[in-house]
Chains A and B, each alone.
Chain A
């Protein structure tokens, strides 16, 4: 399998009140093409920080990140954002849509800016994505006029509009009830099946148990990894995967 993302000796330090705190300590991580990976760990362990740093949103203190064969940390900020725009997608827990744009505008914005295809094609694609995620009827609504789950689906459409290689999610289901959450997970699975690599940060064992690999973080280091089989919804083995995973997490001290 091809490696799509590789982090070597990734370090991130913050200085608060003249005290230096190391949030990520020599993190090494590999993600393969087409994989569905979850990151778990207690609050404050550095999960979000890891996500921000491997995607180039934040500047790492030391180490290197290779993405799609490109050494990210050696690129200029504008080159990094170009890569985020064209090759990465992001879904956060909340607050990540632009308030002054409607649903469809939020989705197409990054494509209009990237200018990889004509505007008509982009609009068509946005419509397809919205149909697929079931929010097509809401296309012209304000973001204040839809539910939390619909917002997250909008965010997923936006993340996919430029056909990213990888989709990052930071607790994308964190603010949703279980029904809405499972709907989002279904969508993520279908994207994954179409070939997009997915990396999720989550607190939810149900979510994590649906991935192929779970990375466990504690105090800025990767404590361990747990491999699961490829998830198949029809096999109805969710309960079993969950219990396997929670047993392992307990062993890791979560």
Chain B
């Protein structure tokens, strides 16, 4: 009897059992791969940081430079182990031709040319060896190798009006400092002779002043000492902790997404499993009752069923783990390319398999939990009732004869869903989930691409934004541009902003450096989470993250060191900003030109915007002029790109899950309703009518799912995203929804998929006939 039950169980629920197997398998596979990826990432990162001898602290600087002050300061500082200054020549994109006749004019990447480092911060090749180049040779960042499909032997040409120089690519650069795709600077390695030629003829120099410390734990202390010194500081700083984070961000995110999908699949397999177990309980109600009646203990009966799910979970998880060994390389490509790979210890090899068996364990425990219901089966009841009785429910309030308006088939479909809602829960949850994973990325993508997103970037909304940085005579050029703007009749209003690195006294009483933008913030206002723009001379605004770090609220006073004097300012407002690590400030004080790191001008025009953008771009060198969308695009292009990929992936996954679960569910449902369908067919109810009933059921559930899913996306999804982005500096993300995409196209798309899948899945009812009435 036991064997017979299990065999019938497997045969009758063949499809859904296979599906559960596949879900557990995929879930285990992704879990193993994700774990593997994280372990490899961390390991390889350690390895490459050691090989490249990564700097602990780097200050970028443009402008006047004197190595002597640094040397003098450093010898007196006992935290420093070694120091090094790398001179980097920034070549303008319009002068750079990478294996092409078209320049990199439109690229947002800052291209720096350097010699190989002497002390540390080595630039490595793909074998993690220190790169050596001779005259005429060049090593190119991996970023270009991947995006431009470069090969050894391709050429790089640098050309301006007067000079031209060509290189042959002999190697590719793995660069711990500038590898990550979110860092928009990249370093090329050239020979000393070529470097000097470049220095004499092209571009401006930027200095990377780097240090390695005796003890990495003193980093914070050292950073404070440096920022309070008189050493060059016109530019951003970066330290080894941020470097590690940046280097692991892309792959870490992918690994996190993979693990997330794995959890998602695990949840779906649990839902399916619950469905199977409850169905089994319904079908075998009588058998279970009989077994109980003849004295088999409930736990023995449960174990009979449990053994099946135990075997299912273990074999599926094991197969998944084996599969992960094959797909690992697929996920690891990016890590291998940018970071390289190192051999792992046995312990590390074991972790992914442990992770996949964790999935099996979850499945088994869950089955155990659901199987508890078997205990409730009463022997007498089961034998008397035959089958479980409560499968079909009826309610006179929803009787067909009372319905005078809706089409009868549609009514019957709706009625069935309402009366047997429990049966449809799995489908309902899956539809909510699918809607959620389509709508959230879609809304976020739309938000980030909309001009409104500028409000999370701490910049006022204007037609055009001009950005000037990394050049030697910045201040003079800035003044030239303003003069030009004043004479431009098309410009309706403009506001210049100067951002410099200032010191601010933190809650511990020590000075900390912060990017402070000065200018008039009333011309192009931004949104404030709290408070308002700094309009008085003694007011300042902080970005959300700075305010958090400094533990300041609106109305608190802040001490800022500007023009050599301490100034007491009042915090007038807090705004959201995801640029520059999220830590910025705005003040209405007189700018300190010595501290200026970059200049911006926002302006509105009453002429064609793209033409104006072009005009300014071609009139001035070394500036970036963009419209507002372009500005956002440049700043967050990486996020947008990855988000597009994520959105497409999410949509594909949602489609896959929708089709699969709809198919499985309807196959199960029609099998369950077989005798009822046969009755309807026998008394002459046309197949078309019966199919309409089932399509109604599926679409009704789908629409409920879409509504709940959309509401959840716009509340929970928005909240989740805000939580995620608060790390970057935006804590109040509000979706900017494209109603056509989110409320019309996506639902229609899902409705189409579900309708077609339903039609295909219920095709088999054509074969049901009168003999199936007596199946029960």
Give me the interface of A with B, judged by CB distance under 8 Å. 52, 57-58, 77-78, 81-86, 88, 90, 92, 95-102, 104-105, 108-110, 112-113, 119-120, 123, 126, 140, 142-144, 158-159
Contact = CB atoms under 8 A, between A and B. Distances in A.
22 contacts: A52-B769, A52-B770, A77-B687, A81-B681, A81-B686, A81-B687, A82-B686, A84-B682, A90-B682, A92-B773, A95-B773, A96-B683, A98-B680, A99-B391, A100-B392, A102-B399, A105-B399, A112-B400, A112-B408, A113-B689, A144-B389, A159-B683
B281 interface: no
B773 A102 contact: no
Given A100-B392, A109-B685, 16 more contacts: A58-B770, A77-B687, A82-B684, A82-B686, A85-B684, A92-B682, A99-B394, A100-B416, A100-B676, A101-B400, A104-B401, A105-B399, A109-B680, A110-B683, A112-B400, A158-B683
A189 to B, nearest CB: 22
A140 B396 contact: yes
Interface in B683-721: 683-689
Contact of A113 (B394, B399, B408, B679): B408
B215 interface: no
A116 to B, nearest CB: 12
Contact of B687 (A78, A88, A144): A78
B770 A57 contact: yes
A105 B679 contact: no
A77 B773 CA distance: 19
Contact of A109 (B392, B400, B769): B400
B684 A119 contact: no
Contacts of A85: 683-686
Given A100-B416, A113-B408, A83 B680 contact: no
Residue from B420, B680, B686 having most chain A Cβ neighbours under 10 A: B686
* SS class, residues of chain B in contact with chain A: helix
Contacts of A112: 400, 408
B556 interface: no
A115 to B, nearest CB: 8
B679 A96 contact: yes
B676 A99 contact: yes
A212 B404 CA distance: 42
Nearest to B393: A100
Contacts of B394: 99-102, 142-143
Given A58-B770, A92-B773, A98 B676 contact: yes
A126 B401 contact: yes
Interface string B460-488: 00000000000000000000000000000
A58 B773 contact: no
B732 interface: no
Contacts of B682: 57, 84, 90, 92, 96
Interface in B389-438: 389, 391-394, 396, 399-401, 403-404, 408-409, 416, 419-420
B262 interface: no
Given A92-B773, A109-B400, A97 B679 contact: yes
- A101, A104, A142: most-surrounded residue (chain B CB, <10 A): A101
A76 B408 CA distance: 24
B776 interface: yes
A251 B676 CA distance: 41
A95 B685 contact: no
Contacts of A96: 679, 682-683, 773
Contacts of B409: 113
B162 interface: no
Contacts of B588: none
Nearest to A123: B401
**Contact residues of A: prevailing secondary structure:** helix
A52 B399 CA distance: 30
B678 to A, nearest CB: 9
B62 interface: no
Contacts of B404: 119-120
Nearest to A112: B408
Contacts of B675: 95
Contacts of A100: 392-394, 416, 419-420, 676
A142 B675 CA distance: 18
Interface in B751-774: 766, 769-770, 773-774
Nearest to A82: B686
Nearest to A104: B401
Nearest to A84: B684
Contacts of A84: 682-684
Nearest to A115: B408
Contacts of A110: 683-685
Contacts of B769: 52, 57-58
A96 B679 CA distance: 6
A142 B396 CA distance: 8
B401 A78 contact: no
B633 to A, nearest CB: 56
B687 A108 contact: no
B776 A81 contact: no
Interface string B144-176: 000000000000000000000000000000000
8 shortest A-B CB distances, which residue pairs?
A: A84-B684, A85-B684, A99-B392, A112-B408, A100-B392, A105-B400, A57-B770, A81-B686
Contacts of A81: 681, 684-687
A88 B420 CA distance: 32
A2 B267 CA distance: 66
B683 A90 contact: yes
A126 B419 CA distance: 24
A82 B683 CA distance: 10
Given A81-B687, A85-B685, A108 B400 contact: yes
Contacts of B681: 57, 81
A167 to B, nearest CB: 12
B38 to A, nearest CB: 51
B412 to A, nearest CB: 8
Contact of B774 (A52, A95, A104): A95
Interface string B501-520: 00000000000000000000
Given A81-B681, A99-B392, A109 B408 contact: yes
A144 B389 CA distance: 9
A231 B400 CA distance: 38
Contacts of A119: 401, 403-404
Contacts of B766: 77
A109 B676 CA distance: 13
B677 to A, nearest CB: 10
Contacts of A92: 682, 773
Contacts of A142: 394
A150 to B, nearest CB: 16
A81 to B, nearest CB: 5
B773 A78 contact: no
Contacts of A88: 684
B400 A98 contact: no
A182 B507 CA distance: 98
Contacts of A52: 769-770
Contacts of A86: 684
A98 B679 contact: yes
Which of A88, A113, A143 gathers most chain B CB within 10 Å? A113
A30 B739 CA distance: 66
A95 B770 contact: no
A201 B679 CA distance: 18
A113 B685 contact: yes
Contacts of B684: 81-86, 88, 110
Contact of A102 (B391, B396, B774, B776): B396
Contacts of B389: 144
